[in-house]
Amino acid sequence: MKPDVLIVGAGIIGAACADALSARGLRVTVVERDAVGSGATAAGMGHLVAMDDNAAELALSSHSLELWKELVDGQGQRHEYSRCGTIWVAADDEELEAARAKAVTMKAHGLECDVIGAQELYRLEPNLRPHLAGGLLVQGDGLVYPPKSARILLARAVARGASLVMGEVVALEDGAVVLADGSRLSAGQVVLAAGTRCLSLAPDLPLRPKKGHVMITDRYPGFIRHQLVELGYIKSAHASEGESVAFNLQPRPTGQVLIGSSRQFDTVDLAAEPSMMARMLARAVDYTPALAGLNVLRCWTGLRAATPDGLPLIGPDLSRRNVWLATGHEGLGITTSLATAELLAAQMAGGPAGIDSRPYLPSRFDAQGRAYG
């Protein structure tokens, strides 16, 4: 019997969609060319963060954080979950004022956060450089190890009868996909949840690859205790051209420190670039001078799938029959995976969703990838 839904991609988005759709009684098959939780999922930092660049982004990320709290409840170790919180670091009084405005927006959405002054900032994070103004502490943010969470979500789907097929999807047909070995898998509906790889199957989608680098140090327990992000990060994260770096450090449960972040358009070369690594390190050392004495063990890269308006594509692909999209999450795929899956499942199988799906529908773009209105 052919499945009701065939999902292309077993990263965190595809695995979450398999979990949500199977929970609503649909027969699901997931196709993955590499390993479960590979690709952008394995490359990401695993930061579970409320982002408020716009109302739709905040609605999606804050709702998904609630779903994450339910998922990891009593299973924190399985996901390598830590509720470390995020400190948005304010370099000066102007940025501290921006932190206050950010706090007002977040509190209006029920998020627990507090503006902190310099004295409290250095009590919490003494390795930050002197003369910073303070910041915004968002207590509910956290982190997971994304490949492990993807495997857990997919395992839940498999326990309900879902299946996993290893192979590379090279073409879409009406109600089917073609694999690289020439075999054909049929399904009632197809979900594209493979990040930038969706472009190889649907090149007209309004997506662009955005390359990022991540580095990880040796073990230095207690070097930092919160995810640390400069308030200028948002400007970097939503840049539409060129290259940028921003200060972003994360304390892993292992005692290691993850170092981000960078963004580059117009390249799909996954090679680590020493020049970009040097820029990232320089930015990180500027905020945490003691970082210069830590040993970096490894660097890797990944490709984020970016849309023109910074919001994901969640819903039917109007250009292709029986094809649905769950892609375009850029740097928020880990955070928003669970809410994405809930929204997609509500559209495909009916039932409730915690937020309005309309801001994320692919139909908001025209054939040239331009947003209507």
The enclosing H or E element of 75 equals: none
Helices (H) and strands (E) in the chain, counts: 11, 19
Question: Would you say residue 75 lies in a domain?
Answer: no
Q: Which residue range forms the structural domain that includes residue 187?
A: 5-44+146-207+309-364
Same domain, 129 and 216: yes
Strands 296-306 and 208-217: antiparallel
Give yes or no: residues 356 and 233 share one domain. Answer: no
Cβ-based neighbours of 278, under 8 Å, separated by 6 or more: none
Task: Name 119's Cβ contacts closer than 8 Å, sequence gap at least 6.
Answer: none
CB 253 within 8 A of CB 339: no
Q: How far apart are CA 212 and CA 329, in angstroms?
A: 14
In a domain, 373, yes or no: no
Per-residue pLDDT of 299-334, as tens digits, reads 999 999 999 999 999 999 999 999 999 999 999 999
The dihedral formed by the CA atoms of 209, 6, 49 and 266, expressed in degrees to the nearest 10: 0
Does 168 map to a domain?
yes
**Is 150 part of any domain?**
yes
Domain final residue, candidates 265, 290, 306: 306
Q: Is the same domain home to 168 and 264? A: no
Q: CB of 316 within 8 A of CB of 323?
A: yes
Neighbours of 265 (CB within 10 A): 15
Q: Are 251 and 86 in contact (CB under 8 A)?
A: no
- The residue among 306, 337, 354 that closes a domain is 306
Q: Report the distance separating Cα 133 and Cα 89, nearest Å.
A: 8
- What are 205's two structure tokens? 């989608």
Are 174 and 277 found together in one domain? Answer: no
Sign of CA dihedral 258, 262, 268, 272: negative
Please indicate, yes or no, whether residues 215 and 254 belong to a single structural domain of this protein.
Answer: yes
| CATH number (domain holding residue 133) | 3.30.9.10
* Structural domain contains residue 372: no
**What pLDDT, on the 0 to 100 scale, is given for residue 366?**
72
Query: Is 229 in the same domain as 287?
Result: yes
**Contact of 141 with 65, CB cutoff 8 Å:** yes
Q: Tell me whether residue 170 is in a domain.
A: yes
Which residue, 261, 285, 306, sits at the end of a domain?
A: 306
**Pair of tokens at residue 306:** 């970016």
What does the pLDDT read at residue 175?
87
Strand order from edge to edge, sheet including 257-265 = 113-117, 134-138, 86-90, 227-230, 243-251, 257-265, 208-217, 296-306
* CA–CA dist 299, 89 (Å, integer): 24
Q: Within this chain, do residues 358 and 337 fall inside the same structural domain, yes or no? A: yes
Q: Specify the number of domains making up the chain.
A: 2
Report if residue 371 sits inside a domain.
Answer: no
CATH number at residue 184: 3.50.50.60
Provide the 10 A C-beta neighbour count for residue 117.
13
From residue 242, alpha-carbon distances to 31, 149, 153, 210, 261 in Å are: 33, 32, 35, 10, 14
Contact yes or no for 89/128 (Cβ under 8 A):
yes
Structural contact between residues 341 and 329, judged by C-beta atoms closer than 8 angstroms: no
Cα 208 from Cα 328, distance rounded (Å): 8
The ranges of the chain with pLDDT < 50 are: 373
Question: Is 119 a domain residue?
Answer: yes
329 and 359 assigned to the same domain: yes
